[in-house]
């Protein structure tokens, strides 16, 4: 663009006026070239054979026309140069306007110094991702661990094949069949409860009550963890929304400014004045005057 600024100055022609002058210059060239093609330096005469009387067919131009011919040739050259100058200046303005439509962000930054800078999304470590109980106090975490372990151990022990369940089953079987006779070995085995069956049953009921309490505590802990995770996710979602909103406002402001810059540049370029070089001013004045008649 800097190189092409030679076409423009504070005063001069608009594109419309320049195009009009170029068309006038084109007509001038056409007329001048017609005159040049009519130049003739031969006088032609014709006579009948055997007759001395000659008839003039054409009168050749005298030497005085040579000066005007040189002047006319120079004017044709200058007029064509003026046409080329004006057409190139108009073409340059049109090219600049077209280029503005395709300007990218990097070029816009180079021209204005304004850069699109968006915030980077902050990376926050979410503790619950690696440790779901991280938000709990020391006591709460300890209680949660104990409840979880008790629930697991009691569930296994009281299951059908668990150690406590098997012991209770053996006690009940012995109550029903306290004496077992082994005829093959000639042995009689008698089984007697070492602890009161009622006491054992009471203890097992207490185990089941404890298991129920631990399961309830684990469920409450899990609910607490779930609620914390959901709240954290909502907070993160809100933060992301706010972050995206801030960036959207930044991006919108950037492209709004870019659009305004392009519109302002289009207006400025459209109103650039095309200057006439000193060497072309004589032919410009001559052509301009032709348009006034």
Give residues with Cβ within 8 angstroms of 56, minimum separation 6.
Answer: 43, 44, 45
- Asked if residue 248 has pLDDT above 80, the reply is yes
Across 229-246, average pLDDT:
74
* pLDDT at residue number 278: 93
CA dihedral of residues 148, 154, 155, 161 (deg, nearest 10): 150
Locate 213 and state its tokens.
Answer: 């309490």
H-type alpha helices, the chain? 15-37, 64-101, 105-112, 127-130, 138-158, 163-176, 197-270, 281-290
Lowest mean pLDDT among 69-73, 161-165, 251-255: 161-165
pLDDT in tens, 172-201: 766 777 776 677 777 777 677 677 777 777
CB 288 within 8 A of CB 21: yes
Residue with tokens 């022990």: 157
Locate 110 and state its tokens.
Answer: 């180079």
Locate 188 and state its tokens.
Answer: 């009689």
Residue 45: in which H helix or E strand, if any? strand 44-47
CB 151 within 8 A of CB 216: no
Look at residue 179 and give its three-state secondary structure: strand
Mean pLDDT, the chain, rounded, equals: 79
The distance of Cα 11 from the centroid of its chain, to the nearest Å, equals 41
Which residue, among 137, 130, 148, 133, has the nearest Cα to 226 in the 3D structure? 133
CB 39 within 8 A of CB 68: no
CB 175 within 8 A of CB 201: no
Count other C-beta atoms under 10 Å from residue 94's C-beta.
Answer: 13
pLDDT in tens, 55-95: 666 655 665 666 677 788 888 899 999 999 999 999 999 99
| Global model pTM greater than 0.95 | no
CB 148 within 8 A of CB 218: yes
CB 157 within 8 A of CB 165: yes
């Amino acid at each position: 663009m800097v190189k092409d600024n030679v076409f423009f100055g504070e005063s001069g022609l608009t594109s419309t006026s320049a195009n009009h002058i170029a068309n006038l210059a084109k007509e001038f060239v056409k007329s001048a070239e017609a005159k040049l093609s009519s130049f003739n330096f031969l006088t032609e005469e014709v006579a009948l054979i055997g007759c001395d009387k000659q008839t003039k067919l054409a009168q050749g131009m005298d030497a005085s026309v040579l000066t005007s011919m040189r002047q006319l040739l120079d004017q044709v050259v200058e007029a064509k140069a003026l046409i080329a100058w004006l057409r190139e200046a108009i073409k340059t303005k049109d090219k600049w306007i077209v280029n503005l439509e395709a300007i990218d962000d990097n070029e816009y930054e180079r021209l204005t110094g304004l850069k699109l800078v968006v915030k980077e999304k902050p990376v926050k470590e979410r503790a619950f991702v690696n440790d779901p109980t991280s938000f709990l106090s020391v006591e709460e975490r300890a209680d949660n661990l104990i409840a979880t372990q008790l629930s697991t151990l009691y569930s296994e022990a009281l299951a059908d094949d668990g150690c406590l369940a098997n012991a209770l089953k053996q006690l009940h079987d012995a109550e029903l069949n306290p004496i077992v006779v082994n005829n093959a070995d000639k042995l009689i085995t008698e089984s007697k409860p070492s602890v009161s069956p009622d006491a054992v049953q009471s203890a097992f009921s207490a185990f089941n009550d404890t298991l129920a309490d631990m399961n309830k505590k684990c469920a409450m802990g899990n609910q607490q963890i779930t609620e914390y995770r959901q709240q954290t996710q909502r907070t993160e979602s809100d933060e992301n929304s706010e972050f995206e909103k801030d960036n959207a406002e930044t991006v919108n402001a950037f492209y709004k400014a870019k659009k305004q810059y392009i519109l302002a540049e289009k207006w400025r370029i459209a109103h650039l004045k095309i200057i006439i070089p000193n060497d072309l001013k004589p032919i410009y004045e001559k052509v301009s005057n032709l348009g006034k008649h």
